[in-house]
Chains A and B, each alone.
Chain A
Amino acid sequence: MLLTITTTHTPATDLGYLLHKHPARLQSFEIKSGKAHVFYPQVSEEICTCAILLDIDPVELVRGNGNPSQFALEQYVNDRPYVASSFMSSAIAKGFSSALNGKCKDKPDLVNVAIPLEIKLAVLPVGGGEDMLQRIFGPLGYGITAERHLLDPRFPEWGESRYFTVTLKNTITLQSLLSHLYVLIPVLDNDKHYWVNDEEVQKLLDKGKGWLEEHPEKEMIVRRYLRNQRSLANEALNMLLQEEPVATEDNPQKIRLHDKRLESVAAEIEASGVKTVIDLGCGEGKLLKLLMKQPQLTKIIGMDVSPRSLEIAGRRLKIDRLTEYQLEKLSLIQGALTYRDRRLEGFDLAALVEVIEHLDADRLTALEKNVFYFARPGTVIVTTPNKEWNITFTTETDKMRHSDHRFEWTRAELKNWCEQVGEAYQYSYAIKPLGDEVEGAGAPTQMAIFKKL
């Protein structure tokens, strides 16, 4: 909400020329969803401070932005009017545009002079805490003082908020300072940005010129700035790094655990010689995409409970552009394993990749009955995390890998479950590790393959 820029450069009043804002006047201008005010709390030869204060209209903020989440209450009561976010970047760009672009009509020579600058941001939301502040501003040579605020001093047990009052000191040109702030405020916030389109890539490259290329956290900065939109982020990174190979997820050297898991499952399916497969909990359709390539399969159904996931899966599989032959082969349906569903019957194989751990343990019996009793495919492949492997990344014993996991099993627990299910529904089973095994902890994922007896 508030940014102050202070200099002890002599004469300090040069700040007024540099910012192209008169120290004696309060100046206000419109920004998206409100106004910004520029004024000078202190003006002297020794020290001069300029403040930019946001005046966001909370009612305007939520009007007609037409996105579906406007029916969530957090749209209406939130921190946006009070924090330094992308609104602050917009205000900097509008209020200090000449300074940001390295222009100064009255004192052009000053533009390239590094002067002592201190800025204060109240309040700055930081995703990632002090450490993140350090990672972002440290490499740029800033001295950082940060006061982190409690969520509520009345209830200290609720812990700390993500809001900081931050003071940064550096001796640099004003243009550099403003460029840094322009890019890095939204990066630290890493919350709702009120923009992000293709133009942003260019803006990022412009404002990042001369410092972002060298920043050790450039990858993260780009991703967060572009709100984790991978295609845009990759585009920006490519331009930043030019010919250097980009280490992204598409790089075969860094195949993620999940892709590896899916490849193993797809290979298992191919080896089993089945013709029809149902992917229960198909999510965004990654396994389906692999299965579509297998010529021996005549029927593939992807089922998921989430309409949103199915929509993404449909796009990923380009379902509206499939040929008649492919459409015969593939379909997507919404369904839940806690309900009786006759559409699941008559398949050779059912795959449940990272599905069971998303069900409350007491609803697992419903899934078992649905899959092993009613649908009763010849083969059932189940993968689930191996809890023992968690020691490789955490010491907390009850820490789960995903916030929606209702349980994670040790190898013995999975075996026990397989034993029970196999006994109850007449299936044999074998368990295989998926991923690189760690001494004493096993592989990250475990896969159980059930065969109907």
Chain B
Amino acid sequence: MKIKIPELSLVVMIGASGSGKSTFAGKWFRSTEIVSSDTCRAIISNDENSLDASDDAFDLLHYIVKKRLKRGLLTIVDATNVRPEDRARLVQLARECHVIPVAIVMNMPEQVCVNRNKDRTDRSIPSHAIVNHVRQLKRGLGKLRMQGFRKVFELRSPEDADAVEAIVREPLWNNRKDEHGPFDIIGDVHGCYEELCALLTVLGHTVDAAAHKVSVTNGRKLVFLGDLNDRGPATPAVYKLVMSAVKEGTALCVPGNHDMKLLKYLNGKDVQLVHGLEVTVAQLEQEEDAFKEELKTFLDGLISHYVLDGGKLVVAHAGLKEEMQGRGSSTVRDFCLYGETTGETDEFGLPVRYNWAIKYKGDAMVVYGHTPVPEPQWFNNTIDIDTGCVFGGKLTALRYPEKELLSVPANKTYCQPSRPFLPDTVNLQQEYDELPDIEELLGKQQIRTRLINNITVREGNTAAALELMSRFSLHPKWLIYLPPTMSPSETSQLPQYLEHPAEAFGHYRHNEVQKVICEEKHMGSRAIVIVCKDSTVVKERFGITEDSIGTCYTRTGRAFFNDKTQEQAFLGMIRDVLSTCGFWEEFDTDWVCFDSELMPWNAKAQTLLRQQYAATGAASTNAMREALAALTVTNATEEVSTLLKNYKEREEMCRQFTDAYRQYCWEVKGLEDYKLAPFHILATEGKTYFDKDHRWHMEQIANYCGGEGNPMITTAFRVVDLEDENSVNEATAWWEELTGRGGEGMVVKPLSFIEKGKRGLIQPAIKIRGREYLRIIYGPEYTLPANLERLKKRGLSAKRSLALKEFALGIEALERFVAKDPLRKVHQCVFGLLALESEPVDPRL
């Protein structure tokens, strides 16, 4: 005999002490799948026979069972469970978790149990207790199904138990994870056959309307979201087409509430012929009985919902909460058919629907219908595509995984909706995103990204990020990306240098990267710039209601410009250049996000300059002058002369320090003094550009730089072949020349944007800063040999590990934004990145 149970069920063993429950369970299930009352008793009290620990033991048992069921794990309860009240609690647990309760009854003859107990050495249970168990068991046996067990297996003798050959775990009907599509998911048809045929044609399938046949184009599969019937003019034709496609395996169909009501009618149940069913019934009168029978079978066989594409897609008529996905219970089925209602009725006498999607945080995309909406809206990774065709709206399909929406308008209004069918004034997602939920940001966080599987952010860091984010940053809706930190090269072997290109080239060569790009490092401030074609794009795509055409923010998400008017005027200049040069058409977009450097440095770094650099410069040059004056007039003993020489050298360094920071400052009178050097085109509508190499980025950007009144400037670069010595030498000479002129230095990146090596992700960029520039980082006198020697002992591993994590998080954030993920998913990455920035790392790196 084989026992077949659903793959996700709660198996309740029922039987008297000594009936062989534990032995049976142990034989057929994994030990971790079995929760035993004896074990729980022992955990609580050190004694598995302790009866006074029973209450606590069962609390623990129920707790474990619930946790396991929530996590979707098959669980076996090994306890006597002979009393109905014991079983009731377990059935209730199964229901709460939408898991199927199954009973395996060890209905052994009383004597078998008594004998077995006598043989036990570990404990003895009085015979009268066993007799009691058996009596109680027999009393409840007939009522198990009534109590809620969907499957009951009864073993009446040890021979029965031995005769079990296998316990087969059957997948749930809704589990179609191995179907990967691509899918064309179609909303509520409601008998609108002509529109259905039109839509299928638009989708590229071949329809034979008269024969009710659709030939689905290569490899795709149709998914119908139910409510094929009622109200519309041609319900039977719709069913015929769908049934034939399902039969041929080119379509899936889930039931809607209307379909199920029709089934009741067909089954002869007493149903009211209202809400369009009367129309269907009239249409069916023209049909043959055979078709009606076939229809009945079809409807009866519909599965409440499907989990598709490895769990990434869920389809259900009225949507489905995360905890119900892939589960089977009458509650799940009801939810799929009717959704969630508040129990209230609105002014039209219709039940008030509770929008379950508000709380949806699941990873699976949920596509559903049921509630007619004027326009489908993405909301928390769910979408309602019932666009009310039968009410004169349109019939809509969603292409998966493309996320493309296609629709055909209704030929006419077949039915007046009882609730007015008005366009939404608000975008649900954007309204919801106004306040991202703090719950998912605080505490220790694990973030899954496409480049690094699991990034851990510590609790203290998320706490710091919350403060930074809420006190200083822009609205999270703007923060679709933050740039990663960048590591310098290993310290130079050359005596005079702390950093030199040789080490950066060496690093990439060591990681088997052959081609790198060297980009001049502008001395400005890192700026993320988002520019939109116009302010409606800002509203529609970013959900920002204030009148603007974009934003410009720092690497920690703060507004770059303190003055909003100035910011908008600056962005306006960029927007105009992009419009004039045809950027929007070229990239087929109405917005763009650049990673860039904004000059001059002093535009943003005023405080830093005044409080730190200029202050140190003023203090050192003035103090050194006086010190030299005093030493110069002092009687020149050998010791004084040595000291004088030393201070002269240091005075020179202090002047070089001042020269170093002055390089990067210029007076800002108006907007024309700002220069923007974009170096990455990060994203446009629907696209990121991480798949393009850096040369592409440089060349594309160059098309939009230069010319009168254009604030955008290019970045000088060299592509270097690390196996070609000339190429390497030439780049080194270039760096020496750049930094010799006082330049900040250069950044070396693998030519391709994302480079993976044998040991995983490779540093996306390494900076090599000029000798003079480093004075403002390491202090005026860092080049004194005694200082340099000590400063060379620096560790880079923490910085590099952060750089990789932040790189992965930044890319993830942008990919999610471009894929129109809900804000919380984008913000999770950006928030995590900002949190990592609070890791204690030497700021001079």
Could you tell me which residues of chain B, from 557 to 612, have a CB within 8 Å of some CB in chain A?
A: 609-612
Known: A41-B633, A83-B623, A163-B619. A305 touches B470 (CB 8 A): yes
Stretch among A152-160, A223-231, A266-274, A312-320 lining the B interface: A152-160
Cβ of A245 under 8 Å from chain B: no
Q: How large is the interface on A (under 10, 10 to 19, 20 to 34, 35 or more residues)?
A: 35 or more
B464-477 vs A, Cβ < 8 Å mask (1 yes, 0 no): 10110111000100
**Is there contact, CB below 8 Å, between B630 and A79?**
no
Whether a CB of chain B sits under 8 angstroms from the CB of A1 is yes
Report if A161-B471 is in contact (Cβ < 8 Å); known contacts: A26-B637, A42-B633.
no
Chain A residues with CB below 8 A from B137, complex form: none
Residues in A with CB closer than 8 Å to B546 are 362
Q: A39-B640, A152-B617, A163-B622 are in contact. Are A305 and B437 (CB under 8 A)?
A: no
Contact A122-B435, Cβ < 8 Å, known A41-B633, A152-B614:
no
Is A120 part of the contact surface with B, judged by Cβ < 8 Å? yes
Q: Is A72 an interface residue (CB 8 A)?
A: yes
Of the candidates A26, A152, A340, the one whose C-beta lies within 8 Å of that of B435 is A340
Q: Report the minimum CB–CB distance from B534 to chain A (whole Å).
A: 20
Instruction: Please report the C-alpha to C-alpha distance between residue A71 and residue B799 in the assembled complex, in whole angstroms.
Output: 12
Chain A residues 318-360 with CB under 8 Å of chain B are: 334-342, 358
Q: How far is the CB of A60 from chain B (nearest CB, A)?
A: 9
Q: Other than A73-B844, A155-B614, give 19 A-B pairs with Cβ distance below 8 A.
A: A1-B623, A39-B631, A53-B631, A58-B781, A75-B843, A76-B778, A77-B777, A78-B616, A79-B615, A82-B623, A122-B625, A152-B662, A161-B619, A162-B615, A305-B466, A306-B467, A336-B470, A341-B438, A374-B435
Q: Are B627 and A2 in contact (CB under 8 A)?
A: yes
- Among the stretches A11-19, A363-371, A392-400, A441-449, the one at the interface with B is A363-371
Q: Are B841 and A71 in contact (CB under 8 A)?
A: yes
Number of interface residues of B (CB under 8 A): 65
CB within 8 Å for A82 and B463 given contacts A71-B840, A73-B612, A122-B627: no
**CB of A37 within 8 Å of the partner chain:** yes
From known contacts A2-B623, A83-B619, A151-B615, infer whether A366 and B634 are also in contact, taking CB-CB under 8 Å.
no
The answer to whether B840 touches A77, judged by C-beta atoms less than 8 angstroms apart, is no
Task: Encode A241-264 as 1/0 by CB contact (under 8 A) with B.
Answer: 000000000000000000000000
B626 contacts across to A, CB distance below 8 A: 1-2, 120, 122-123, 165
Q: Is B487 an interface residue (CB 8 A)?
A: no
What's the minimum C-beta distance from A228 to chain B, rounded to whole angstroms? 19
Q: How far is the CB of B469 from chain A (nearest CB, A)?
A: 7
Does A4 reach chain B (CB closer than 8 Å)? Answer: yes
Partner of B791, one of A59, A81, A152: A59
* 23 examples of A-B residue contacts, CB within 8 angstroms: A1-B623, A2-B627, A4-B630, A25-B639, A37-B643, A51-B634, A53-B627, A53-B630, A58-B780, A73-B843, A77-B612, A79-B619, A83-B619, A122-B625, A122-B627, A123-B623, A155-B614, A155-B665, A306-B467, A307-B467, A336-B438, A339-B435, A339-B470
Q: Shortest CB–CB separation between residue B468 and chain A, in angstroms? A: 9
Closest to A365 in B: B434
Q: Which has the most chain A C-beta neighbours within 10 Å: B436, B441, B611, B779?
A: B779
Evaluate whether A122 and B623 lie within 8 angstroms (CB atoms) in the complex, with A24-B635, A41-B633 already known: yes
Which of B630, B780, B844 lies in contact with A41, CB distance below 8 A?
B630
Q: Which residues of A contact B610 (CB under 8 A)?
A: 151, 158-159
A341 to B438, CA, bound (A): 6
CB atoms of A157 and B630 under 8 A apart: no
Give chain A residues whose Cβ lies under 8 Å from the Cβ of B643: 26, 37, 39, 53
Residues of chain B with a CB closer than 8 A to A1's CB: 623-624, 626-627
Q: Which of B475, B612, B622, B781 has the most CB of A within 10 A?
A: B622
Contacts of B529 in A (CB 8 A): none
Q: Is the CB of B631 within 8 A of A149?
A: no
Alpha-carbon separation in the docked complex, A24 to B639 (Å)? 11
| Chain B nearest CB, measured from A54 CB (Å) | 9
The reply on A68 being an interface residue by CB < 8 A is: yes
Nearest A residue to B432 via CB reads A340
Q: Which of A2, A73, A370 contacts B630 (CB 8 A)?
A: A2
Whether the pair B777, A161 counts as a contact (CB closer than 8 A) is no
Contact yes or no, B843 A76, CB < 8 A: yes
Q: Which residues of B contact A307 (CB under 8 A)?
A: 460, 463-464, 467
A305 to B844, CA, bound (A): 28
Pick the contact of A74 from B464, B612, B639 — CB < 8 Å? Answer: B612
A152 — nearest CB in chain B belongs to which residue? Answer: B614
Does B787 touch A at the CB level, under 8 Å? yes
B-chain residues with CB within 8 Å of residue A404 when the two chains form the complex: 471
**Known pairs A26-B639, A26-B643, A82-B624; A77 contacts B613 (CB<8 A):** yes
Binary interface encoding of chain A residues 418-429 relative to chain B, with 1 for a CB under 8 A from any of its CBs, else 0:
000000000000
Inter-subunit contact B777/A73 (CB<8 Å) = yes
Q: Which residues between 46 and 67 of chain A lie within 8 Å of chain B, taking CB atoms?
A: 49, 51, 53, 58-59
**A125 in the interface, Cβ–Cβ < 8 Å?**
yes
Which residue of chain A is the closest to B437 with respect to CB atoms?
Answer: A340
CB neighbours (8 Å) of B2 from chain A are: none
Asked whether any CB of chain A lies closer than 8 Å to the CB of B162, the reply is no
B435-A82 in contact (CB<8A): no
A82 to B658, CA, bound (A): 14
Residues of A within 8 A of B611 (CB): 74
Candidate in B435, B624, B842 with the most chain A CB atoms within 10 angstroms = B435
Could you tell me the distance between the alpha carbons of A343 and B321 in the complex, rounded to whole angstroms?
23
Q: Which of A26, A74, A306, A339 makes the CB contact (< 8 A) with B437?
A: A339
Q: A40 near B: Cβ within 8 Å?
A: yes
Residue B270, interface by CB 8 Å = no
Inter-chain CA distance A43–B635, complex, in Å, is: 9
Contacts of A181 in B (CB 8 A): none
Residues from chain A with a CB closer than 8 A to the CB of B460 are: 307
Task: State which residues 620-671 of B face A: CB under 8 Å.
Answer: 620, 622-627, 630-631, 633-635, 637, 639-640, 643, 654, 658, 662, 665, 667
| A359-395 interface code vs B (CB 8 A; 1 in, 0 out) | 0001101100110001000000000000000000000
Whether A40 lies near B840 (C-beta < 8 A) is no
Q: B30 an interface residue at 8 Å Cβ cutoff?
A: no
